[in-house]
Structure 1
Amino acid sequence: MTPSIPTVKLNDGHDIPQLGFGVFKVDPDETERIVSDALEAGYRHLDTAAIYGNEEGVGRAIAKSGIPRDELFITTKLWNSDQGTQSAFDAIDLSLEKLGLDSVNLYLIHWPRPDLDRYLETWLAMEQIRDAGKATSIGVSNFHRSHLEKIIAGSSTVPAIDQLELHPTFQQRELRAFGAEHGIAIEAWGPLGQGKYDLFGMPAIAETAAAIGVTPAQVVIRWHLQSGIIVFPKSNSSDRMRANIDVFGFELSPEQMAAIDALDAGNRVGSDPETATF
């Protein structure tokens, strides 16, 4: 049975499932199988990107699933080398061809690349991509407040989404508050810390998991959901996929939420959008 996954209302009126499945660093040769497993487990929100090199595998899994297109929410992202007007138009067409779709539900600028200073121009192209019906909603990823302020001031569209590195030791509270003020929904990438520190061994996580009788990963995913964050953990294991989506039969108490909130330590484990130049 497909679990009933709550949705978040975006500022453009469209809904996005709050829990999805990510394919970052999923081997292109394995993507079709892994995404097929995820769809079978009940996921209907898939997050990919041009740079991941696996849009074709995602597309094949979608095609083979037989799931009606209107039951799926598909996100992909514009890579940094494609920032600019015409290159953005070309990039979305290539992504749609690889995915085998007429449109995506959400199209994101992957990184701001402030050193290039083309993200406002690119955002204006994103508006045209949306208006052409190639993306239902448009947003950004890894944008800081200054980047968001620039595109909001220079365009007629507030991003629907800002996808950020976000996990219990790096909670991005100021940026989340700015998003809430402007109606920008927040998505978490690396929601489980990418295995770069012992998140699951922290007492606030481990003790909560033991008390409830769930896994530490389920506790962290539930914390994201109860914090209002859109989250899409990835796994190559079908058992873990099923565990990660099985998070709607329990709730964290206010005390348990507060204990995880207290883990915030400014612990960025990914690249800094202010200085990233890839």
Structure 2
Amino acid sequence: MRKKLSIVGVPMDLGQMRRGVDMGPSAMRYADAVKRLERIGYVVEDMGDIPVAHINEDKNAQPSLRNLKAITKAASHLADCVDSIIKKDSFPLVLGGDHSIAIGTLAGAAKHFHDLGVIWYDAHGDLNTDETSPSGNIHGMPLAASLGFGHPELTGVGGFHPKVKPENVVIIGARDLDQGERELIREHSIKVYTMHEIDRLGMTRVMEETIAYLKERTDGVHLSLDLDGLDPHDAPGVGTPVLGGISYRESHLAMEMLAESELITSAEFVEVNPILDEKNKTAEVAVALMGSLFGEKLL
């Protein structure tokens, strides 16, 4: 990983219906994200937050794509920001915000890699489109859009698509998939470790297999970590919690193994909602996991 690190916040809450997740970047900063990364040895530049509309601009739009225009605009801005960070040889670390921001993060990162890999650490697949989504919430669509599936305004962020090939994606922690997502996973043979596999194989083997799988086929790997990938007991401040998730300690192990692998070239931590949290616990968990991802050690 680069020793220069640039943080950008995306105070986005338009990809879903529960307010508060736009305060996620502030909560993670309050949990001392910058100081923690500096202590590890990184030169950290906090670039602040990109502007995001805080009103519903699509009141008359189709309900299958809530706030499409505002989300697309923010994603395009974020894509340019991530692109510029990588151009100056710094590591982009994006703080969310709901998971729709990944459309922009991946659009910016994919410009610099021929075969970008993605680790999607999440309870959900986020593989819906406007045709399959039960809710119309775009935070359930970013991985599909990055693969080139869905509305042209989402798939076209950054001016090209797809950003990622299905064979370069690994989903870890899935336990809540809609029917359309299951069909897309089967049709395109996307590699998924559900909680069944994590329980049965153990996190060590899951990460060993993930790292080996991506190392042989990618030239960079983006980590998209949704805090609802963890069990709600460990990360209560999320908008769509699902029981039976990955534990705090398993998540640290996963991040530590990724640090050792030196595979990760960009990352984002999303869906921290302070309004739903307990004394900023989820933001503190996110920052602790950042520490492990970037090489923090006890001894």
TM range (shorter): 0.3 to 0.5
With structure 1 as the length reference, what TM-score do the two structures score? Answer: 0.36
Q: Decide which structure has the larger Cα Rg and report it.
A: 1
With structure 2 as the length reference, what TM-score do the two structures score? Answer: 0.35
